[in-house]
A and B are shown apart, each in its own frame.
Chain A
Amino acid sequence: MVVNKANPVKTLSVVELRRIFMKQSRMWPHAESMVPVDWDSTSYVRQAFSKYVLNRTVREMAEYWVQQSMTQGITPPSTQRSARAVLRFVASVPGAISYVPAVDVDETVSVVKVSGF
């Protein structure tokens, strides 16, 4: 997982991560709004993240967001199409959090370890 450099968080549990990407948690401990960023729904990275972290397929998550939009007025996370785009987004938005393959991580973002798998 990668977060903005200004974010002091260093570790997250898989349950916390699920809450963030399902927008059930809203604020970081340092009072910054959480801004989860997904990959495009067709990407292999998104499909793997959805399956192993959110415990739902991409399609089931789309249904979840229809439900959330109607009952809570909450929209799904914005999406990006490449590691480069994800990194640039996370680097430019203070509360942003996303995921990229380890080989693509660069110094513009901070890495967060995930426990509980």
Chain B
Amino acid sequence: MTRIFALAMILFIAGVLPASAQQTEIAALRAELARQQAIIAQLLRRLDALERPQPPAAATTQDLRDDIKVQEDSVNSLREIVNSKVNLNGYYNFRFSVDGSEAPAAFQQHHLGVLMAKQLGKFNFLMELELQNVPHHAEIAPVEGEEHEEEGAETDAGHTDTDISGEGQVAVENAWMEYNHNRLFSVRFGKQLSPQYWWQNHYPNLTLSTALPIYLRELFPAELVGVMVQGSAARSVGASEFGVGYKLYAANNNFEGNSRADLRDGKAWGARGQVRFPTAGALRRFDVATDVYRGHVGLATNELVEDNVFGFESQLEVSSFLFQAEWARGKSLAQTRTGYYLQPAVRIDEDWIAFYRAEQLESPRIHTAERRHIAGLNYRPYPQIAFKGELYRSQPLAREFIHPTEERKPYNGFATAAVFFF
């Protein structure tokens, strides 16, 4: 009996215990299921919350800075429209040159210019003050109005008593106001640069060489004091345009140092016509222009003689290649003077430009016949900053107005400059 009871207990334990573990496992699984369902429900609630439209996020510091700038710019723009504000700019040009001519090597605080401009509706005003401190620099010496000594004698053409020798001079280079009626008509009064391309763009930030073309001061006058009417019209050609422009001006004669003589003998006048051809593809610019000028130049005897100048120019830009050329011929007292420059250039990359310039001047008036070649590099890390370096060679030309026994030798030179626009 005892054996039978023990056997029954063993069978009971063997049969009942597994069923109890299964129940426990089922209970655990149910608990886990309930927990997962709770998590899913929580995630669904979170998802609903995220999918609902969000209230505006709080502004970040950057947003607030942007808003402040918008408000400042808005106010400035409105001020510009309503009251106008003065724009202040300027430029700085430091140059060093050394060559085989008689001019000694020199550091030159070449130019320091300050420009002030103001716009008020259809009116513009611009003023430029320029400090020129150019020791031993023949380029800025007045060359007109000189009376040359008899043929064959030693002259000092190009150098007069008014040469600046290191002390500097502050000059008003521009001072004009302009009424801009529309694209076809605007009128500008005051002291302004002559309309030829180089004179308009002669600033050191805009030129590739450190030196002006040698012919420049001997043909068209650099500046004029008078009234200029100008305008342009254009017709769309695809995404480009075909444009024509004109400039007409009347001004005082180009006679430095004697305005009374100028007043006696009437005024100078000039005109310019310009065509801008449509561009496409690699051709990015193709402009041609022609200029005429009729005025008087003064002699040292206070006499004024008639002076006529005529010129052509062109600017071309194809892909990264640039080309500029100007040619002019002037005639006064039965003497003809001519000059030109040709300047191809290539943008090597965004910061580097290489250029070459061939130029020539023949002028019996200042007893000069010269050809010059310049090859140089510009490094422009910013559009406002330029470092220039160039080599040049000057060659005297044999012409009948220069006596064959006169000693004139070719020479080579080097020039460098640093320019900052602000």
Contact = CB atoms under 8 A, between A and B. Distances in A.
Contact of A35 (B71, B77, B89, B126): B77
Contacts, number: 106
Given A26-B180, A55-B284, A59-B383, A81 B66 contact: yes
Nearest to B63: A84
Contacts of A24: 183
A88 B66 CA distance: 10
Nearest to B205: A66
A69 B90 CA distance: 9
A85 B117 contact: no
* Main SS class of interface, B: mixed
Interface in A45-90: 55, 57, 59, 62-63, 65-67, 69-75, 78, 80-82, 84-85, 88-89
B126 A15 contact: no
Given A67-B206, A70-B89, A81-B66, A15 B77 contact: no
A74 B236 contact: no
Interface residues of A, number: 39
B201 A67 contact: yes
B10 interface: no
B156 interface: no
B147 interface: no
Contacts of A65: 383
A22 B249 CA distance: 26
Interface in B104-120: 115-119
Interface in A4-33: 13-15, 24-27, 33
A88 B63 CA distance: 12
Contact of B124 (A73, A82, A116): A73
B329 to A, nearest CB: 26
B201 A59 contact: no
Contact of B206 (A70, A84, A85, A92): A70
Given A15-B240, A84-B66, A26 B122 contact: yes
B206 A89 contact: no
A62 B89 contact: no
A44 interface: no
6 contacts: A70-B91, A81-B69, A89-B73, A92-B70, A116-B236, A116-B239
Interface of B: 63, 66-67, 69-71, 73-74, 76-78, 80-81, 87, 89, 91, 115-119, 121-122, 124-126, 180, 182-183, 193, 200-201, 203, 205-206, 234, 236, 238-241, 279, 284, 350, 382-384, 421
